Chain A
Amino acid sequence: MEEILAKAKKVAQEAEVFLVSSEETSVQFEANRLKHVQSRQSQAVSLRVIKNGRIGYASSTTTENSQELVNMAVETAQFGQKAEFEFPSPTAYKGVRIFDASVAKVSPETMTGLGEKMISTVRKGTPGLLCEGGVGRSTTTVSIMNSRGGQASYKESHFSLGIEGQLVRDTDMLFVGDSQSSCRPILETSEVTGIILKQLEYARTQAPVATKPMPVIFTTQGVASALVSPLMAAFNGKTVLEGASPIGSKLGQLVFDKRFSLRDDPLVSYRPSSRPCDDEGVPSQRTPLVTRGVISNFLYDLQTAGLAKTKSTGNGSRGRGALPAPSPSAFIITPGKTTFDEMVSDIKEGLVVEQLMGATQGNVLGGDFSGNLLLGYKIENGKIVGRVKDTMVSGNIYKLLKDIAAIGSESRWEGSFLNTPPIYLTNVSVAS
């Protein structure tokens, strides 16, 4: 890293080197049995330079050809955007617990055992269920170094498990599934299997549904598959800067229901989305985005913040081989007081949405979602009566989240990017 930085400083005014390397092992199940054992070693180094005020960028899988990397970055700097920021100078970072040495010690035997246990548990009452899934662990090291002396380095451990089951009866296909991840070993599988067993129970029979607006409960998975993508786009500082965010000009205004609060939080202990700093070395912070219905902040990286004349919120994130861009670390929706069972019992005729397929294919920027109900249930007179299929559920989050019937009290993590309780909305368009 030092060598790359030194070479870059000879030809550019400012430079920053970002190095990420990881080791990963997973066991994978197919058709109810162990099928693959996989391991991955990977490394990526990227160099960002500022030359004559412009940004250049190149990345590689090796630190060996450092001159080539510098040359590529310098070449792109002729055309790059004008830099509107300075690399961070040396900073002290808040500690956040994201490494547990015991993750790397979980043996493939133990991982296989966890997978087998999940599969046998969910198949007990449903022997025709065919499961695939996996258990994996990894360790990632991130280092950042820039020409202003800024330096950051951290190690993160990651453990995940999950399964998906398919049940085929004639031309009817049912897909159920859940997963869980943490920076610590997950040696207890009952949360995942408990959710899948519930899904199987609710979907045992099928129920018809009418084409009309009706009340709908989005579970944690349902919120993730339908409602979150428009929010992620709208709070992105870049979308706001371009004037393409529907809430971009509404800072300080009441846009959502007063019970709706949302924050970005990279500082939760042992969450895979947590980190001491972002991918540009800016210290992590909790950023309130919606406070009791009022828009309170947007998410920025250094360059976007510079253009918008504000400060980075520590949300500079790099995809593989790409320049940093604003991206949430983890969206956390504040739970309310209503239990899922209370929501269900409140509804005379409505739906529960677990998985809305293809919901984010439409005009996400405008807040629209519209998807096929891959997994969802009918509610009649306060009870779940069966699975609903071949049905479209559509809406606009800016209209629907203005007036929420209830926010759930039972929050869960979905993937590493979202923590939310179920959300109960009225008047959602349903077509069948």
Chain B
Amino acid sequence: MPNIEEIGQELAKKLPKYDAEYIEVRLEESQTGNISYRGKKLEAVTRSASVGGNVRALVKGGGWGFVSFNSLEDLPKRIEAAIKQARFVKGEAIKLAEVKPVSDTVLADKTNSPMAVSLTEKKELLDGYNNIIWSTKGIQTSSIGYGDGQRKTVFLNSAGSFIVQERIDVNMRLNAVAAKDGDVQQAGVSLGSRGNFAAVRGLDKKAKEIAELAVEMLAAPQVKGGEYTVVLDPVLAGVFVHEAFGHLSEADFVYENEQVRQLMKLGKVFGGKELNIVDGAAVPGLRGSFKYDDEGTPATKTYLIREGKLTGRLHSRETAAKMGEPPSGNARAISYRFPPIVRMTNTYIEPRSASFQDIIADVKEGVYVKNWYGGTTSMEMFTFSAGEAYMIRNGKLAETVRPVVLTGNVFNTLKNIDAIGNDLDFNQGGGCGKAGQSPLPVSNGSAHIRIQHCLLGGK
């Protein structure tokens, strides 16, 4: 393996000499491992190693040039190519918000690293979960996906920053499939952590629960499509806040669109007085946590909504400069193959005082939705889907129903949140996709919340 730190140090001396407004170089090396099960058997064990990098350049009167590569030979040639591409773009000058140059090395915490756990031990753990799923009557098949990896990035720019960062990730999804008379139902759980293998241990009970739920859902009815009072568990409420509001607060959607800028003026009311929404990589210990983003900007914690009003948004250096707001450290790239774009990190609704019992107590007929399959947004309208659903009748949890897809409109749905619980929890099992860059490690969270007039798809 070439030493990317040394290569970076050599390049750092040369960067100021080029005729460009701004140049940054990212070099990266990573190792990943995956184990997958389909059915009773282990299906695949794979390992991979990757080395690559990119150069991004900006010139006066031009635009962005971007070059990515796997071969680390003749990097000055790549830098020249990026500058040439930047010159090709003619137009309005692009400005970047000021960020103080830093030299820093951020090493990963390796105390509980998955990289130190043997393949034999990982396999034993996963075998255990799979056996539990299969011991449930009515299970047709199962699937398990486990992945871990460590990555080291070297970031340097023409302003003099030189940042080395390591990160370790681990993630797992358990999925149980039940089938009867041509009908197929599935239930699953996703988990992840920034490098702590303990996050995927001790899940025997969870494995049992999803298997039983998949079987139970075969006999469950489907709700009728329409508007309901819904109560979301913290995991699904996390997915909700990510889709319903998080993406809209990404400034790259706002900064060049005059209508959207008007629509998203700071101070605009989006929700009730109880609603606070936060995003921040500076919130420690979560999957979306880091010290510097992929433009070398230090991580922050940003209140997107405070007491129902829009108070901040997520920025790259470019969007921050254009909007005259402080850079928030949200420029992220999934790997060296892509330029950094504005992304979320750890996004959550701050907890309030209601207990779960308080929240469901006065619901005459509603749906309690838990866990997630996925979510997506078009900024104004969004959908997200539950992994489990139960009717609420006269203030009590009632029968299991089939999982539902929920939808909403950001300009109404946040205002329809009328209860926020006291039990903040995070969903660390998801990955976010945007502009072809997926899955980016993020976390999202909330306490239990209740939404009035939420539209559900159904029969």
Which A positions have Cβ atoms within 8 angstroms of B?
30-31, 33-44, 46, 55-62, 65, 68-69, 72-73, 75-76, 78-81, 108, 128, 130, 166, 168-173, 175, 211, 238, 241-244, 246, 321-323, 357-358, 360-363, 365-366, 370-372, 374, 389-390, 392-394, 398, 429-432
Contacts and interface: CB of A to CB of B under 8 A. Distances in A.
Given A56-B45, A321-B48, A392-B455, A35 B89 contact: yes
14 contacts: A39-B67, A41-B71, A42-B337, A57-B47, A61-B50, A62-B71, A79-B123, A81-B43, A173-B380, A242-B140, A358-B382, A361-B374, A365-B177, A372-B383
Nearest to A358: B383
Nearest to A395: B459
B88 to A, nearest CB: 5
B140 A79 contact: no
Nearest to B380: A173
B380 A172 contact: yes
A90 B130 CA distance: 39
Interface of B: 1, 32, 34-35, 38-39, 41-52, 63-71, 81, 85-86, 88-92, 119-120, 123, 140-141, 177, 179, 182-186, 225-226, 256-257, 259-260, 263, 337, 339, 373-385, 402-405, 407, 409, 411, 455-459
A296 B315 CA distance: 52
A357 B405 CA distance: 11
Nearest to A37: B85
B45 A79 contact: yes
Contact of A175 (B42, B225, B260, B378): B378
A150 B429 CA distance: 41
A353 to B, nearest CB: 13
B141 A242 contact: yes
A61 B373 CA distance: 32
B256 A34 contact: no
A221 B76 CA distance: 44
A361 B184 contact: no
Contact of B403 (A41, A170, A362, A365): A362
Nearest to A24: B68
B439 to A, nearest CB: 12
A81 B37 CA distance: 10
Question: What are the 9 A-B residue pairs with the smallest beta carbon separation, nearest first?
Answer: A431-B225, A358-B383, A370-B457, A31-B256, A361-B385, A37-B85, A392-B457, A168-B259, A361-B374
B457 A374 contact: no
B185 A371 contact: no
Nearest to A233: B184
Nearest to B409: A390
Interface of B is mostly: strand
A30 B157 CA distance: 24
Contacts of A372: 378, 381-383, 407
A238 B41 CA distance: 13
Q: Which of A59, A80, A392 counts the most chain B CB atoms within 10 A? A: A392
A38 B339 contact: yes
A322 B68 contact: no
Nearest to B49: A60
A241 B375 CA distance: 29
A430 B459 CA distance: 8
Contact of B45 (A40, A80, A363, A365): A80
Contacts of A55: 44
B44 A42 contact: no
B227 to A, nearest CB: 8
A79 B46 contact: no
A201 B391 CA distance: 42
B405 A362 contact: yes
Given A57-B44, A72-B47, A358 B85 contact: no
Contacts of B185: 363, 366
B63 A34 contact: yes
Contacts of A175: 378
B259 A357 contact: no
Contact of A168 (B34, B67, B260, B382): B260
A39 B89 contact: no
B324 to A, nearest CB: 17
A30 B64 CA distance: 11
A390 B68 CA distance: 40
Nearest to A399: B459
Contacts of A31: 256-257
B426 to A, nearest CB: 20
Contacts of A211: 225-226
Given A40-B67, A322-B46, A363-B184, A34 B91 contact: yes
Nearest to A398: B182
Nearest to A321: B48
A37 B226 contact: no
Nearest to A167: B259
Contacts of B257: 31, 130, 166, 168
A355 to B, nearest CB: 9
Given A358-B374, A362-B385, 7 more contacts: A42-B68, A61-B49, A79-B35, A168-B259, A371-B383, A372-B381, A389-B381
A238 B43 CA distance: 11
Contact of B46 (A59, A170, A358, A390): A59
Contacts of A59: 46-49
B41 to A, nearest CB: 6
A36 B56 CA distance: 10
A244 B179 contact: yes
Given A38-B66, A362-B405, A78 B119 contact: yes
A72 B457 CA distance: 47
A153 B46 CA distance: 24
Nearest to A393: B457
Contacts of B41: 81
Contacts of A321: 32, 34, 46, 48, 50
A168 to B, nearest CB: 4
Nearest to B52: A61
A35 B183 contact: no
Given A60-B49, A238-B38, A358-B385, A431 B259 contact: no
A371 B457 contact: yes
A393 B339 CA distance: 36
Contacts of A65: 1, 49
A44 B335 CA distance: 15
A192 B459 CA distance: 35
Contact of B405 (A33, A80, A172, A371): A371
A430 B455 CA distance: 11
Contacts of A374: 378, 381
Contacts of A431: 225-226, 455-458
Contacts of A37: 63-66, 85-86, 88-89
Contacts of B47: 57-59, 72-73, 75-76
